[in-house]
A and B are shown apart, each in its own frame.
Chain A
Amino acid sequence: MKGLALALLLWQAGVWATGLPPYLLPGPWAVGQALVAHRGELAPATALTGAATLIGLALGAGLGVALALMMAAWPRLGRAFAPLLIVSQSIPVFALAPILTLWLGFGMAPKLAMVVLITFAPVAQALHDGMRAMPTARADLAQVMGASRRAVLWHLALPGALPQLASGLRLAAVYAPLGAVIGEWMGGAQGLGALMLHANGRMKTDLMFAALLVVIALALLLQAVVNRGLQNALRRRGFEC
């Protein structure tokens, strides 16, 4: 709360000090007014972006988990895919946005695709790494007890990789709102990203900042919820965190 107050103060001080006109840098008060005045536009846009973020994150996480499981089950596949996963995270997927709209049209689909694209890889990589890094003591138990490969994956590697999976999911939750907003920067889309773009085009800088604030709030809320949920899940399963 103190940090927030300080940020607002600095912001206002910056506006006064630079003397920039409101269409370049609106003050917090003006942005607050825009938030209230445009709530009729902001609310549905927030719902759309929030939905894209959540659904995309769920799909991306699901895809990441499925991919990691397949890579762990078929080590050859794993060896082939592991470097691809790393490379895929250094490709600016945002550059794919126009292609996604070309393929998937406008609306929810390209947005979801964008969120899935930037969230599945960190989840898959974290879980796969976690499953491969099984402590020796566990591998020994499995061998001496005569466990099948499948049982090792299912009963030892997967549950043991929960902390790593949680790190991957935390990262994915950070990226997901970004993916949704960038997906909305394409023409014809709706949501907070599209609203920002339009506001910018019409020099309604205060509305653009208002939308940006909502995006930030959405992202922080999502991270808080995901972190809390993961922490509880880890603790219930006896992991330190």
Chain B
Amino acid sequence: MSDCGLEGSAPGLFGPLRLDLPEGCVTCLLGASGVGKSTLLRLLAGLPTGVVFEGQVQRLPAALMAQEDGLLPWLSVAQNVTLGARLRGERAADPAALLAAVGLAGFEARLPGTLSGGQRQRVALARTLAEDRPLVLLDEPFSALDARLRLEIGALALRLLAGRRVLIVTHDPAEAARLGDQILILTRAGLMPHPAPKGAVPRAHDAGEVLEAQAALMERLLA
């Protein structure tokens, strides 16, 4: 077993599987709704789940962007982004640059209740990116974003996370084809690898290989 990942099964949810998260590798995880993707993420983050997992999990200190943004309504956008430092009693870095990077410059003082769904999601992403952790778990991190933001912010996230182990859950085959060094599909039977296009991530959305991989993935998800 490698130094980060898990091996085992969750009876009633998914069969025996093995997940490796190599250093500096971006893994994209797809699969039908309710199949257990978020559960896998929670296992890797050391959080309680609704299942009994029989097997072992190799953990590293993780940053987690959950499916639900979990923004604190009483904290400003800037304070939400630096929540980790606040909770650990550390000095927080200035979140302005990170917010600008996710297209939210000037939103520092706003309260989450005044943001749109996609803006909230970007704050949650910035909060995750602000954490300096070797393992980064992103659960459908771009699901509420428009097509242009998906491309831009996906690329940005990978740039900022370069060198770390990244696991991205997504329902979007195009996203997996662009962002994944490793592409995996979770089914009740276990984890199925899918060949990733050549080239370093993030890949161009319109590259031939990426489009082919996207189509092939779509086929498999529909099968």
Contact = CB atoms under 8 A, between A and B. Distances in A.
Interface in A140-169: 140-148, 151-152, 155-156, 159-160, 162
A146 B64 CA distance: 12
Given A141-B70, A159-B72, A238 B111 contact: yes
A87 interface: no
A239 B42 CA distance: 28
A142 B84 CA distance: 8
Contact residues on B (Cβ < 8 Å of other chain), bracket: 20 to 34
Given A140-B64, A144-B64, A238-B112, A151 B89 contact: yes
The winner among A135, A142, A238 for most chain B CB atoms within 10 A is: A238
Contacts of B112: 238
Given A140-B47, A143-B47, A144-B47, A239 B74 contact: yes
B62 interface: yes
Interface string B56-80: 0000011110101110111100000
Given A138-B72, A147-B88, 12 more contacts: A135-B70, A138-B70, A140-B47, A141-B83, A144-B45, A145-B84, A145-B88, A145-B131, A155-B86, A156-B87, A159-B72, A238-B112
With a 10 A CB-CB cut-off, give which of A140, A145, A146, A240 has the most chain B CB atoms. A145
Contacts of A138: 70, 72
Interface residues of A, number: 23
Contacts of A239: 73-74
B155 to A, nearest CB: 25
A16 to B, nearest CB: 55
A238 B74 contact: yes
Contacts of A137: 66, 68-70
A144 B131 CA distance: 10
Q: Is the interface of A mostly helix, strand, loop or mixed?
A: helix
B16 interface: no
A40 to B, nearest CB: 48
A238 B76 CA distance: 9
Interface string A201-241: 00000000000000000000000000000000000011110
Given A137-B66, A137-B68, A238-B113, A146 B87 contact: yes
A145 B74 contact: no
Interface of A: 135, 137-138, 140-148, 151-152, 155-156, 159-160, 162, 237-240
Contact of A162 (B63, B74, B87): B74
B73 A237 contact: yes
A82 B125 CA distance: 39
The list of the 6 closest CB pairs from A to B, nearest first, reads A147-B87, A137-B70, A238-B73, A238-B111, A237-B74, A145-B84
A148 B66 CA distance: 20
Given A137-B68, A238-B113, A159 B87 contact: no
27 contacts: A135-B70, A137-B66, A138-B72, A140-B45, A140-B66, A143-B46, A144-B47, A145-B84, A145-B88, A146-B84, A146-B87, A146-B88, A147-B87, A148-B89, A151-B86, A151-B89, A155-B83, A156-B87, A159-B72, A160-B74, A162-B74, A237-B73, A238-B73, A238-B111, A238-B113, A239-B74, A240-B113
Nearest to B45: A144
A152 B42 CA distance: 20
A151 B73 contact: no
Contacts of B64: 140-141, 144
B87 A155 contact: yes
Nearest to B89: A151
B166 to A, nearest CB: 15
Contacts of B88: 145-148, 151
Contacts of A160: 72, 74
Contacts of A152: 87
Contacts of B89: 148, 151
Contacts of A155: 83, 86-87
A237 B47 CA distance: 29
B90 to A, nearest CB: 10
Contacts of A156: 72, 87
